[in-house]
Structure 1
């Protein structure tokens, strides 16, 4: 018997409450390898890897060793797993961790309080290096497969390159999804039965595409279900279940305006020591300028973690009780976040996760995965979903608004060029076509062009110049290869495809012959 067995209802603190709680984490970054280092580029990957992905795996392995199962549902986008398995990225990450240790060592030579902070950073860097050298030598896939095999987590997949699906040509949308699921099968020997739809974006009819691809459930934001997220809902006439994020619970941790990471005791994300590049300050106060931030105090932060664990457990218990009372049956509560919140943006997040995953069962809350929710009947009546996302306004404006209209047009033109060129290249051969690495690279660059990250970064004015550069770079690569092929310069097209593949060689199993007709 595990610590997550079904429980009976009671409103007494610590006694069992009805229903099921699910934590869903969405792990995503764009393709960053070979595309710049600082301030945006590979540094973003290595920071997230060291601060979020390494600690998360450590937490899950620790809890799995305690015979805890069905802890959370983990979404891994193919573009992230591609980087976490890539030899170039693995070497770069090892160098980055070693540099972190050197920067921490430098801090130990500086006056207090930087010296004490440097000693703690050095210990963290040493642990990360030891973990990485011992466990990560062959990438993330073996580690994640072990967690999946052991029923520690449920895996969610997704389409290649994280495109905003409602705006994507249906042929490329189907191709990206099917290839994304196949990519997960190759890496983990598991084909995900559920996905985290990029940006939780939905357009009516997409449930039919999901059903055809073998996807049984997917995530949307709470407002897509009109705020009633207490049960999964089959979409329209399909058997595909939409699960909605409970904003009342999720926003307790992190919202656009508030949440635990903004507590005065926690490490401040934005304040750097410019000598070492470390972050030695605590938040101190919402309106306190960086130069006036107080030094970070681990004991103060640790006390805040315990308080926020207790608060979250109380919020989940109350929500399960109230939603079960409203429904007249046990309810399902889902809290969902970007994985990178835990460690990268919120330094104390991984410790909070470990403690909360222990505290919830102790408090009488059953925790389980989205697959558990379906198996145990936490599914209600069918629902019609509106066009939606989890972006600002809960609609498509971040990815389709006036601010990014030029990018929407760029995507449309590039996709049309790619599909036309690939169709012609594969249709010119009598009989079944052979594998065509030029056509493969055209689709690879096209998928990178339509990544949802680029319009998001422009709309949010977050490294917007870099985002536009990346979108246009991959569009240029697509057009350059396609133009050479269309004009009959096949050898030149091959050289171009090979050259771009040296920078963008992710998804090696991508096969243009599987593009839907």
Structure 2
């Protein structure tokens, strides 16, 4: 039976990001977070995309990968440690399989096979770093790659000088890794302040993501913000069908429970079972039960996208756009069955008469209508800035402002005397300032998720910035260089960062 095509386009957007974690603790917060996300989300999601490419699918989604995550996926230390982590997973699974406890043998055998598969996948596709894995997806047009600022700072609260610098450096970093600079971005936290559209235009950005309320819920079309720069909004009705604390698919009783561990082996043995069921009382995970739920949720989502496109197209009198946007880490890391759901949905939507495309496709296809005076917004709680600028994080806001001001003042003074020669002290000052103002630290504090770790990280990088600046400002150049070298060894990222580009008189 031929399915009638529906008007418009559906676009899936995923945002891949973790803060810089290398050499900053391992467990319970630190590098373990990176390796869990790598094995749970990045490996299986990329495997899904390669499979779609092999079967002739293209323009499947817009995929954002932040430069700070890309740096970790390319980092030799992280790559070697990831391989060790996967081997440890397999050993823990083997121990579980041999344990004489109910359900342990089946759990261990299942996890052993999964770890074995992940090790083989890592050896085949990731041993040369994440950029190699990502570039094949870009070159095959399976995805549109979205970029972003060099470090994940909350743009509206950042000094415009550093905000412009971190954006252009971020795009250059992606071009260095992939071959081309992205024309679309997912700004950290979908945060926007008036005037940022002009900065996007100056950097060569043509489109970016905001949350639905930023466009007053009018997400059926993109809207021009500045010049030719288009803002696309997340359709909350469709997006919340997947990721809602109350009714989203991952909370279904049949899916694997994220929070419950077999602490002897570090494995996850249980299914959600029920919202009010305590961890020790949860039922064992049943893959067959999960597959049945997954089939239903795939069909439900496809049906809802079809209906949403029909309704929105009828409402606006032209083919409409529906954008569903999520953190990549939802798929696999948080929601174990998520990558399987992604694969099935991206195959079923075209079969159901839905045109699937990227944000770039939507812009080129004319899914843009009018201009919008975009106000202050984010995709955080309240859709405003409270998570990153509220009373709970007032100390971080103050530290961020002071550190950025100190860094920019010191670097400006040094650039006057460098005669155009690159200055590693200035470079490291800017690196540490950017690590200080990562939006992740305020988010973790506001959400009371490893808040002490977040504060420690912010204050550590703030201290690094201050002590390098203090030595430089006192004219103790040798000490400043030694401090800069020491901190660079501790945080070995963004080697191409060049503080001279903060100086408008410098040309590449």
**TM-score above 0.5:** yes
Candidates 180, 204, 209, aligned match of 2:194: 204
Alignment of 1:132-281 (within 5 A): 132-235=122-225, 237-281=226-270
CA offset digits 1:200-241 (Å, max 9, x no partner): 000011100000000010000000000010001001x52110
Provide the residue aligned with 1:33 in structure 2: 22
Give per-residue Cα distances to partners, 1:146-181, cap 9 Å, x unaligned.
111111000000001110000000000000000000
Partners of 2:362 and 2:151 in 1: CA distance: 28
Change (3 A) 1:365 1:94: same
Return the match for 1:382 from 364, 368, 371. 371
CA distance in 1, matches of 2:160, 2:378: 18
Question: What is the match of residue 434 of structure 1?
Answer: 421
Paired with 2:389 and 2:95, the residues of 1 have a C-alpha distance of: 47
Q: Deviations over 1:94-134 (max 9, x none)?
A: 00000000010011012331110110100000000001011
Deviation for aligned residue 1:516: 4.2
1:395 corresponds to which of 360, 384, 395: 384
| Alignment of structure 1 residues 25-424 onto 2, 5 Å | 25-110=14-99, 111-235=101-225, 237-424=226-413
Q: Please say which of residues 285-294 and 401-410 is displaced more in the overlay.
A: 401-410
Structure 1, unmatched stretches of 5+, are 1-11
Matched with 2:457 is 470
What residue number does 2:492 align with?
505
Q: Structure 1 runs of 4+ off > 3 angstroms?
A: none
CA distance in 2, matches of 1:124, 1:158: 32
Structure 1 distance, partners of 2:91, 2:151, is 34
Partner of 2:12: 23
User: Residue 3 of structure 1 aligns with which residue?
Assistant: none
The count of residues paired between Structure 1 and Structure 2 equals 503
Answering whether residue 425 of structure 2 is matched by residue 425 of structure 1, we say: no
SS at match of 1:380: strand
Q: Select which of 470, 473, 489 maps to 1:483.
A: 470
Per the TM alignment, residue 426 of structure 1 is displaced from its structure 2 partner at its CA by 1.3
Cα deviation, 1:232-259, whole Å, max 9, x if unaligned, reads: 1001x52110000000000000024330
- The secondary structure found in structure 2 opposite 1:25 is strand
Separation in 1 of the partners of 2:347 and 2:362? Answer: 20
CA distance in 2, matches of 1:49, 1:482: 35
Contact 2:415 2:503 in 1 (8 A): no
Deviation at 1:487, TM superposition (A): 1.1
Counterpart in the other structure of 1:7 = none
Q: What's the secondary structure of 2:392's corresponding residue?
A: helix
| Structure 2: runs of 5+ lacking an equivalent | none
Tell me by how many angstroms 1:64 deviates.
0.2
CA distance in 2, matches of 1:50, 1:170: 37
Contact 1:171 1:516 in 2 (8 A): no
Question: 2 CA distance for matches of 1:205 and 1:444?
Answer: 25
- What TM-score comes out, normalization by structure 1 length? 0.96
2:501 aligned partner: 514
- What CA distance in whole angstroms lies between the structure 1 residues aligned with 2:503 and 2:298? 48
Give the secondary-structure state (helix, strand or coil) at the position aligned to 1:337: strand
| Paired residues of 1:70 and 1:369 also in contact (CA < 8 A) | yes
What is the DSSP-based 3-state SS (H/G/I as helix, E as strand, rest coil) of the residue aligned with 1:181?
helix
Q: Does 2:445 correspond to 1:455?
A: no
Whole-angstrom distance in 2 between the partners of 1:30 and 1:58:
23
Q: Distance in 2 between matches of 1:167 and 1:155?
A: 26
Tell me, in whole angstroms, the C-alpha distance in 1 between the residues paired with 2:102 and 2:353: 45
SS in 1 for 2:231: strand
Deviations 1:389-426 (A, max 9, x none): 00000000000011111111100000011001111111
- Report deviation, 1:475: 0.2
**3-state DSSP class of the match of 1:234?**
strand
Residues 260 and 279, structure 2, Cα contact 8 Å, conserved in 1: yes
Query: 1:13: Cα distance to partner?
Result: 9.2
Provide the rounded CA distance (Å) in 2 between the counterparts of 1:490 and 1:171: 25
CA distance, structure 2, for counterparts of residue 85 and residue 299 of structure 1: 36
Task: Indicate the SS of the match to 1:22.
Answer: strand
Deviates more, 1:47-56 or 1:104-113: 104-113
- Separation in 2, partners of 1:190, 1:302: 39
